[in-house]
Amino acid sequence: MFFNKIKSWLGKFKNKKNGLVVVSLFDGISCGQLALKRVNINVQKYYAFEIDKYAIQITQKNFPNTIQMGSVINADFKQFKGKVDLLIGGSPCQNLSIAGNRKGLKGNESKLFFEYLRALKEIKPKYFLLENNASMSKENQDIISQYMGCEPILINSALVSAQTRKRLYWTNIPNVQQPKDLNIYLKDIVQPIKEKESFNCTDRLKAKEIGTLSHKKGWGSVRTLNQKSHTLTCSQSISNSGATTIKYNDNLYFIPTPIECERLQTLPDNYTSGVSKTQQYKMIGNGWTVEVIAHIFKNIRGVA
């Protein structure tokens, strides 16, 4: 019995030394893995459940040791029971957010929350983190909280980035407080004009007919360099009501470049390069603000 205890202790020490075992659902471009790296938490194994081929391509470019597991639907989570330090995921918000169809947890996308819940029950990780859109109804928020067994923490990415992005985080990671306001604005993250002439949208914006929905959306999206961006969407067209158009002066307007969008999500420059701009915008918009996740992860204790 004594030697079994020693063996068990050595096993725990080895895992601690080598890093965390992480399971990430709806992994996207692995913002969670980047956040762990940013706070110097070693990762022993990182299992990513993702089906988008472009997102997988970006993840493998940046983290080639990622173990891709495919879809969460019907996944065998029991294989990880007792072996996982951290379970993370941001279940799809299309049916929950104010910009979605509001079908809630019964919607085709947002019902995937229950796959996260299944993983949580079957894996029984030491720590967990679930993220979702803060614009969901109080009813849906309460339902998720009941299932998760904890209340969410509301954090606005505006505290650590040049983007307004309110998200809810359900977690058992201890002592998570609000991040310090870093007072970052668009002027702090934009590229020089000479690097982004192809993103000049001045003529298209001014050509929109007054009184039309297109005019209302296009001009309503405008933000100055001394302001913060709207919440990033999966598209940065000036016809998209959620997208941001950056105003330099009364005669100069730009759509954010992929690099600027990466900076808004506190990703490294060119993190998503290697795919089309359309796919870059989509993946960045679907991702996490890395600095927020890193802020949460720095409270993970007993790992190194």
As a whole number of angstroms, the distance between CA 292 and CA 180 comes to: 10
Q: Of all residues in the chain, what percent carry a pLDDT higher than 90?
A: 77
pLDDT higher than threshold 60 for residue 2: no
Quote the pLDDT of residue 17.
Answer: 56
As a whole number of angstroms, the distance between CA 84 and CA 119 comes to: 11
Quote the pLDDT of residue 106.
Answer: 58
Quote the pLDDT of residue 103.
Answer: 55
Tokens of 113: 């929350």
Q: pLDDT tens, 21-62?
A: 999 999 999 999 999 999 999 999 999 999 999 999 999 999
Greater confidence, 96 or 71?
71
Helix (H) or strand (E) holding 44: strand 43-49
Q: pLDDT tens, 218-263?
A: 999 999 999 999 999 888 888 777 789 999 999 999 999 999 999 9
The band of 14, judged by pLDDT with boundaries at 50, 70 and 90, is very low
- The mean pLDDT of 263-275, rounded to a whole number, is 98
pLDDT higher than threshold 90 for residue 273: yes
Quote the pLDDT of residue 6.
Answer: 43
Residue 1, C-beta contacts closer than 8 angstroms, at least 6 positions apart: none
Using CA of residue 99, residue 189, residue 191, residue 187, what is the dihedral sign? positive
> DSSP class of residue 172?
-
Burial class (CB in 10 A: 0-12, 13-18, 19+), 234: middle
Q: Are strands 166-171 and 153-156 parallel, antiparallel or unpaired?
A: antiparallel
pLDDT higher than threshold 80 for residue 205: yes
- The mean pLDDT of 251-276, rounded to a whole number, is 97
